[in-house]
Structures are given as C-alpha cells and as structure tokens.
Homo-oligomer: A and B are copies of this chain.
Amino acid sequence: MKQLADIGERAAIRRIQALLTKGKQTRGIGDDCAAIDLGNTYLLVTTDMISQQTHIPPQMTPYQMGWFLVAINLSDIAAKGGTPLGVLCSYGLPKETSTMFLTQLAKGANACAVRFGTTVVGGDTKETTEITLCGTAFGTVDKDEFLSRDGARPGDVVAVTGRLGNAGAGYYALQRSPREKKYSKALLEPHPRLTAGRLLAQLHSVTSCMDLSDGLSASLYQLQERNTVGFEIDKDALPLASGLPQLHTTLGIDPYSVALHFGGDYELLVTLPPKRVEKTKKTLQQHGILFTSIGRVTQKKKILLREKTRKKILSNKGYEHFKTHNFSHHKQVRAVQQRF
C-alpha cells in the first residue's frame, strides 16, 4: 500500500481536495486562504502547522517559535489583500516543557500579532511527544480586492516585494555561527507583508498573487499549475538579499540558488499588466516597500530562467513534506505552505 512518503505532500493534498464537498459560498480552495462569502466581503481563513522535526531549527527560541507561527499565518492573509481580525494558536507540547518556555512562546505569538495590528484571540494547549504548533489566522477583504492565485495572463509582468534570500542568508549565517543574530532574524522572525498586500489590493493592479514562503521556484510552479501559463525569469533582475554576497565570499554558496529556491522569505509574488507596473512600484516605494519586476508570464507552459541571452529550464526545488528530497539540507528551516 502506498505511503505518504511515496506520493509527497502536494499529491496528498490533491487527494483531499478531490473528495471535499464544495461549499456554495466558498472560494480559494488550494489558495493561500479559503474565502467565505459574507456579502460584500470575504472572510479569509488559513491554518498552518509546524513541528519540531521539520520546521523548528535548534537555534529558534520559544519566543521566535510563537512569532513565526503567527507570522506565517498572517502572511497568507497578506497574500490575499486582507486585513487580519485575529489569530488562534494551538500548542502541542511535551509535558516536561518548562512553564517559562510556554510563557515565551505565547509572548512571541502575541508580539507578532500586535506588531501587525491584530491580537491572539484564543487557542488550545495539548500534550504531545514533540513540539507541534498550529496557528489559524482570519481576516476580511472586500470582494473586489481579493488577490487570487488565479488570473495570471501571458504578457503580464512577474514581480516580487522586498528582497529574495533573506531567510536563506539567515540559515547559512546560523550554520556558520549558531549565535548569529544579524541575518538570522529574517529567518526566525519573518514579517508578513500585510501593508504590501493591502496596497496591492487597493490598487487593483495585480492579476494573481501568492506568498513566497516555499521559495520562488516552487511558488512559480504552483502558479503555473493553476493558470496554464509559463514564466520567464530574468536572473539579473532578482533583488538579492544583502547577506547573500558575503555568503558567497565566505562559504562559496551561489546567491542566485538561494534567492531562487530557498523559501522562508514571506514576500509576495505577483503578476500584473505591464502598464500597471510603474504606478504600483511608486505607491509601494512611498511606503518603503521595494517592488521589483523579475520577468514575464508566457503562453508556453514552461518556466525558464534567462541569463543574458541564454535560457534554461528553472528547476522546481521546493521542499515538500513526506517525500525524500534532494534539497534536504534545508529541511529544518523550511515552512512549506502546502494546503488544501
């Protein structure tokens, strides 16, 4: 009999999706959030589980675990253009966990929620053998401002907020020096792009949007699957994180490989018509948010990486749960956003 390890997380999720009864008032299955029709608005809901063996690097403090749990869920609200209404946090913890650990965990979760304009409104604690944390975020968005994963059209520009590879730079900085703080903060205490999401929603400029938690290559493959399009990404246009060049000097790691595949950045990946790029860029810049065009949507269902005149297929190196994976040295620090 087949095991989950044989089929991988995405195939597992497709099986679940196929058997779910569809709600008349629901959209967004397989999107960053489910969206429930409340009249003029959608109620956005999303949940993410993280566990000790797959998501929590040993250097992560309990405060950071709480922060991270809330941040990754708020990132999904951001990716749909939403305003958060609240967060629920469930903590599965071994019984020998110290009370101090729990306090720090809850403080981190609270701090992240408050920092991004919302609150932790409830949760659950249960006894488990390994640390297993489950967060749920919910929010609202006007129906005509909902940023779907569906809608990318050939001719659209591909763009991202912020820089790529900050989380990866943090991961490698920690490998080198376990107490490193400058770069690892981006990895361990990510910031959901709620302001960027709201601005993009209000501008009505993007044709599709998702968060970059899985890394650029994996996210592009997910967008491709939903939109029956292809992408051409310009390697030289990628906005590299500031820590990446140093990484190259000290550890010999290719900055572009990190920016393309690492994940954990929680930036937004969007497609938009070329004529909308300038205004969008300007508006986001006015709020201190970098917005960079990195390529274009194509008709051909291929994802290509262009370097000067050469083009090659961009490989899909996103980390997938359950399946043994050739990117497994990243295993401990990837928070994959696969959901159904």
- B134 near A86 (CB under 8 angstroms)? no
The chain B residue sitting closest to A130, CB to CB, is B129
The chain B residue sitting closest to A99, CB to CB, is B2
- B98 near A2 (CB under 8 angstroms)? yes
The chain B residue sitting closest to A321, CB to CB, is B127
- A22 near B119 (CB under 8 angstroms)? yes
A5-B95 in contact given A16-B102, A125-B13, A136-B136 (Cβ < 8 Å) = yes
A106-B51 in contact given A23-B118, A120-B20 (Cβ < 8 Å) = no
The chain B residue sitting closest to A106, CB to CB, is B16
- A98 near B47 (CB under 8 angstroms)? no
Say if the beta carbon of A313 comes within 8 Å of chain B.
no
- A86 near B26 (CB under 8 angstroms)? yes
**Alpha-carbon distance A128/B132, docked complex (angstroms):** 8
Q: How many copies make up the complex?
A: 2
**Alpha-carbon distance A245/B185, docked complex (angstroms):** 61
The chain B residue sitting closest to A94, CB to CB, is B4
- B54 near A119 (CB under 8 angstroms)? no
Segment of A28-36, A147-155, A286-294 in the binding face: A28-36
* Interface residues as binary, A90-126 with B (CB distance below 8 Å gives 1, 0 otherwise): 1111011111101100110010011000111111111
**Alpha-carbon distance A210/B95, docked complex (angstroms):** 27
**Alpha-carbon distance A338/B127, docked complex (angstroms):** 12
For the complex formed, measure the closest distance between the CB of A148 and the CB atoms of chain B, giving whole angstroms: 14
Say if the beta carbon of A49 comes within 8 Å of chain B.
yes
A88-B129 in contact given A47-B124, A119-B22 (Cβ < 8 Å) = no
- B102 near A49 (CB under 8 angstroms)? no
* Interface residues as binary, A15-29 with B (CB distance below 8 Å gives 1, 0 otherwise): 110011111011011
- A45 near B98 (CB under 8 angstroms)? no
Partner of A98, one of B3, B103, B122: B3
Say if the beta carbon of A7 comes within 8 Å of chain B.
yes
Partner of A122, one of B4, B45, B134: B45
Residues of B within 8 A of A48 (CB): 90, 124
Residues of B within 8 A of A49 (CB): 90-92, 124, 126, 128, 132, 134
- A15 near B106 (CB under 8 angstroms)? yes
**Alpha-carbon distance A338/B91, docked complex (angstroms):** 12
* Seed contacts A2-B99, A49-B126, A55-B126; 15 additional CB < 8 Å A-B pairs: A3-B98, A9-B126, A12-B125, A13-B125, A15-B99, A16-B123, A36-B121, A49-B91, A49-B92, A51-B92, A53-B129, A122-B340, A128-B130, A132-B132, A134-B134
Task: Show 8 A/B contacts (Cβ-Cβ < 8 Å), sorted by A.
Answer: A4-B96, A16-B103, A36-B85, A49-B128, A51-B129, A122-B339, A125-B340, A129-B129
